[in-house]
């Protein structure tokens, strides 16, 4: 009898290399028209190499914070649709929204994603790795999971269809990146963020990024030995807080005059880049590079709260405005690169806008899995046509961001209670607190500095209608006024 693997063997291997909280400019790779000061500040030679071998997406988007993006990726749903609009606590039934004077919290899915029915306050959905596993893929999770709180099925990546789970659980960041601190697992001091597994590296100088990489490559030995196609979801904890020193790379950034915190941040970026390089090197050695697709992505914009970041607040993603938590470009535009040997033209680039939920149908298509039955209606659109044709252009597509949440105690630009919509080069931002609508032309104003709302009222009206229609169709959660108990109106006023 021919086993499933024998048939599946011809399918490509797929790697999603997901970085946490990495900004659009936190790389040597120029994702804008010009090479920026930030591009020169960071050192990511392996990303440069990946870009030279693949396609750069200059208009790739995620949601403003982590869990919504991760749920979108694994379900194919927009965050306004899956209702996991904020990050989930490691603790069950705990709303992470900050307290607010004006609003009571929206009714979002505070328990995240569940692959099992009837778990309260979750979105119940068919998940990508399960479909891949069912189709014969060897599925590996490494790093940050953060789909759901402890005490729910979604807490454990194994319940999402991952055969192997390395260090993924309910927490959204590591307690420590240091092997010398056991990644947080110090008796009596471990928090909910203590990183599970990787015990062989405890007490050593191994930075978490390196430990995850080594463990991932070790896990890849099995499908490679078995000639089974694999799906590796290498979701680094880096470069999320706590910003710590990766000793292997720090000195050059200190020498370059960066502040201590920004030097640390840059060392974490370079450690992440080394992981990418080690992965590519490993695939080459195993002669698996030609049949492996690598998708590089971040889950939201770079953190622009300062402190904990250095510099002036909300300048860390320039030329983009603001950062993590914001619906402005700094919070949502991501460094995305796809290498697909033999198909994607090396060194190519696309400005077609894509979104994190597009990963779901795209990866299924790459794995040649057709007609999957999913519990949920998916919203993502495959980016395979773009990969096959850099000139592909669709300016009619509508992208939606929706964060009816108070992510952080103090409002910032585009941060706390915002929605946004993009169609073509037009982007409208809706402030739920004030009702104000802003309109930007991203082609001429990537920094969203010139609000054109008063000049193009018809455009504002049509984008309001489009956004409202989506939110209405998805029954998207909205914050409620404390004084009336009523929901905040949609952008079209209803």
Burial of 51 (0-12, 13-18, 19+ CB in 10 A): buried
Burial of 358 (0-12, 13-18, 19+ CB in 10 A): buried
The residue among 215 and 294 lying less far from a second copy, judged by its C-beta, is 215
Q: What does the DSSP assignment read for 19-54? A: ESS--TTSSSS--SSS--HHHHHS--HHHHHHHHHS
Helix (H) or strand (E) holding 232: strand 230-235
35 binds a second copy per the rule CB under 8 A: no
Residue among 48, 52, 202, 277 that touches a second copy (CB under 8 A): 202
The residue among 119 and 463 lying less far from a second copy, judged by its C-beta, is 119
Q: What angle do CA 407, 177, 29 make, to 5 degrees?
A: 75
Report the alpha-carbon distance of residue 249 to residue 269 in Å, rounded.
Answer: 9
Q: Are 338 and 358 in contact (CB under 8 A)?
A: no
Residue among 100, 107, 197, 411 that touches a second copy (CB under 8 A): 197
Size of the site for a second copy (CB under 8 A): 51
The residue among 6 and 259 lying less far from a second copy, judged by its C-beta, is 6
Candidates 87, 219, 205, 208; CA nearest to 149 is: 87
Residue among 79, 110, 194, 263 that touches a second copy (CB under 8 A): 194
Report the nearest approach of a second copy to the CB of residue 7 (Å).
Answer: 10
Please identify, among the stretches 50-58, 156-164, 419-427, 428-436, the one whose residues bind a second copy according to the rule CB under 8 A: 156-164
134 binds a second copy per the rule CB under 8 A: yes
Q: What does the DSSP assignment read for 462-489? A: HHHHHHHHHHHHTT----EETTT-PBPP
169 binds a second copy per the rule CB under 8 A: yes
163 binds a second copy per the rule CB under 8 A: yes
The residue among 93 and 259 lying less far from a second copy, judged by its C-beta, is 93
Report the nearest approach of a second copy to the CB of residue 122 (Å).
Answer: 12
What is the separation of C-alpha 455 from the centre of its chain, rounded to a whole number of angstroms?
34
Q: Are 282 and 217 in contact (CB under 8 A)?
A: yes
Task: Please list every residue from 76 through 95 that binds a second copy, using CB under 8 A.
Answer: 92
Report the nearest approach of a second copy to the CB of residue 314 (Å).
Answer: 32
Residue among 35, 40, 151, 389 that touches a second copy (CB under 8 A): 151
Report the nearest approach of a second copy to the CB of residue 226 (Å).
Answer: 6
Residue among 52, 58, 95, 222 that touches a second copy (CB under 8 A): 222
218 binds a second copy per the rule CB under 8 A: yes
The residue among 204 and 389 lying less far from a second copy, judged by its C-beta, is 204
User: Cis omega (within 30 of 0) on the bond before 425?
Assistant: no
Q: Is the dihedral of CA 415, 421, 424, 425 positive or negative?
A: negative
185 binds a second copy per the rule CB under 8 A: yes
- Pattern of binders to a second copy over 226-255, x per CB under 8 A? xxx---------------------------
Q: Are 65 and 71 in contact (CB under 8 A)?
A: no
Report the alpha-carbon distance of residue 205 to residue 195 in Å, rounded.
Answer: 16
112 binds a second copy per the rule CB under 8 A: no
Q: Is the dihedral of CA 313, 109, 124, 476 positive or negative?
A: negative
190 binds a second copy per the rule CB under 8 A: yes
187 binds a second copy per the rule CB under 8 A: yes
Residue among 152, 216, 264, 476 that touches a second copy (CB under 8 A): 152
Please identify, among the stretches 24-32, 195-203, 358-366, 373-381, the one whose residues bind a second copy according to the rule CB under 8 A: 195-203
278 binds a second copy per the rule CB under 8 A: no
The residue among 88 and 300 lying less far from a second copy, judged by its C-beta, is 88
The residue among 134 and 445 lying less far from a second copy, judged by its C-beta, is 134
The residue among 204 and 475 lying less far from a second copy, judged by its C-beta, is 204
Report the nearest approach of a second copy to the CB of residue 196 (Å).
Answer: 5
What is the number of H-type helices and E-type strands within the chain? 13, 17
Report the alpha-carbon distance of residue 455 to residue 36 in Å, rounded.
Answer: 31
Strands (E), 45-131: 55-61, 103-104, 113-114, 123-124
Q: How many CB atoms lie within 10 A of CB 289?
A: 18
Q: Which residues contact 202 (CB under 8 A, 6 or more apart)?
A: 179, 182, 183, 185
Report the nearest approach of a second copy to the CB of residue 329 (Å).
Answer: 35
Residue ranges that bind a second copy, judged by CB under 8 A: 1-6, 9, 92, 133-134, 136, 150-156, 158-159, 163-165, 169-170, 182, 185, 187-192, 194, 196-204, 215, 218-219, 222, 225-228
């Amino acid at each position: 009898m021919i086993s499933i693997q024998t048939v599946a063997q011809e399918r490509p291997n797929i790697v999603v290399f997901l970085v946490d909280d990495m900004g659009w400019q936190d790389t040597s790779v120029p994702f804008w028209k010009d090479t920026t000061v930030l591009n020169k500040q960071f050192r990511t030679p392996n990303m440069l190499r990946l870009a030279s071998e693949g396609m750069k997406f200059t208009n790739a988007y995620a949601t403003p914070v982590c869990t919504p993006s991760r749920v979108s990726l694994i379900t194919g749903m927009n965050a306004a649709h899956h209702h996991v609009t904020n990050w989930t606590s490691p603790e069950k039934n705990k709303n992470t929204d900050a307290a607010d004077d004006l609003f009571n919290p929206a009714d979002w899915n505070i328990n995240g994603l569940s692959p099992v029915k009837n778990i309260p306050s979750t979105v119940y959905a068919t998940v990508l790795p399960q479909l891949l596993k069912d189709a014969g893929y060897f599925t590996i999770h490494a790093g940050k999971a953060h789909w759901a709180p402890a005490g729910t099925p979604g807490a454990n990546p194994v319940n999402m269809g991952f055969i192997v789970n390395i260090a993924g659980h309910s927490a959204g960041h590591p307690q420590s990146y240091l092997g010398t601190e056991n990644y947080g697992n110090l008796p009596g001091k471990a928090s909910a963020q203590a990183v599970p597994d990787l015990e062989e590296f405890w007490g050593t100088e191994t930075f978490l990024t390196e430990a995850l990489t080594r463990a991932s490559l070790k896990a890849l030995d099995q499908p490679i030995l078995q000639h089974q196609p694999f799906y590796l979801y290498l979701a680094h904890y880096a470069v999320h807080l706590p910003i710590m020193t990766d000793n292997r790379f720090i000195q050059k950034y200190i020498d370059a005059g960066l502040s201590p915190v920004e030097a640390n941040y840059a060392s974490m970026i370079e450690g992440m880049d080394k992981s990418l390089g080690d992965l590519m090197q490993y695939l080459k050695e195993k002669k698996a590079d030609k049949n492996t697709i690598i998708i590089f992505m971040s889950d939201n914009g770079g953190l622009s709260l300062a402190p904990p970041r250095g510099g002036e607040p909300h300048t860390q993603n320039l030329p983009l405005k603001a950062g993590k938590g914001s619906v402005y470009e700094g919070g949502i535009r991501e460094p995305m690169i796809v290498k697909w040997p033999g198909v994607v033209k090396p060194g190519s680039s696309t400005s077609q806008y894509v979104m994190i939920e597009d990963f779901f149908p795209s990866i299924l298509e790459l794995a040649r899995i057709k007609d999957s039955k999913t519990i949920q209606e998916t919203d993502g659109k495959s980016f395979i046509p773009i990969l096959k044709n850099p000139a592909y252009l669709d300016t009619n597509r509508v992208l939606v961001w929706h964060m009816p949440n108070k992510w952080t105690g103090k409002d910032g630009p585009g941060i706390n209670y915002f929605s946004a919509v993009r169609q073509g080069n037009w982007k409208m931002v809706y402030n739920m607190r004030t009702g104000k609508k802003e309109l930007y032309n991203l082609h001429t104003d990537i920094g969203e500095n010139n609000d054109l709302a008063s000049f193009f009222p018809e455009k504002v009206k049509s984008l309001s209608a489009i956004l409202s229609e989506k939110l209405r169709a998805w029954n998207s959660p909205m914050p409620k006024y404390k004084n009336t108990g009523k929901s905040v109106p949609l952008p079209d006023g209803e």
